[in-house]
Homo-oligomer: A and B are copies of this chain.
C-alpha cells in the first residue's frame, strides 16, 4: 500500500559488497540480519543485481561450486564504490530532508500522534520510506 523505499536496495547491496564478494542469496540474508531492509523481494534482488552489473557497479562470476546449487558471486567494481560514496552523501541529505519534515510535523501537532503506526499500520504500510 504505502510506497516502498525506492532506490534504497542498490546502495544497500553496494555497501554489503564493499565488505567482500558475495552471491545474491547471501546478500538477501544479510539484508535481513543486519536489518538494513526487511522483506526484500527475491526476484527484485536478482534483477537489481543484474541491472547493477549492466551499469558497471558490480561484476559477477559463477563460483567454483561448493555445496548446493551454483552461486553467482558478485564483487564491487571501482565504479560501484564511487556510486556507493555518492549514494551515502545523497542519503545524508535525505536524512536532513526527513528531519525537516518531522520537525515541521511536531511543530504542528506537538508531541502526540506521531507514534501511531507501529500499532495502527499494517505490515505493508510499515515498509515506507
Residues on A facing B (Cβ under 8 Å): 2-8, 10-12, 15, 18-19, 34-37, 82, 84-95, 97-102, 104-105, 108-109, 113-118, 120-121, 125-126, 128-129
Asked if B128 contacts A7 (CB within 8 A), the reply is yes
Cβ of A82: which chain B residues have Cβ within 8 Å of it? Answer: 116
Copies of this chain: 2
Residue of B nearest to A106 (CB): B88
- A interface: dominant SS: helix
Asked if B104 contacts A90 (CB within 8 A), the reply is no
Cβ of A88: which chain B residues have Cβ within 8 Å of it? Answer: 101-102, 105, 109, 113-114
Asked if A101 contacts B36 (CB within 8 A), the reply is yes
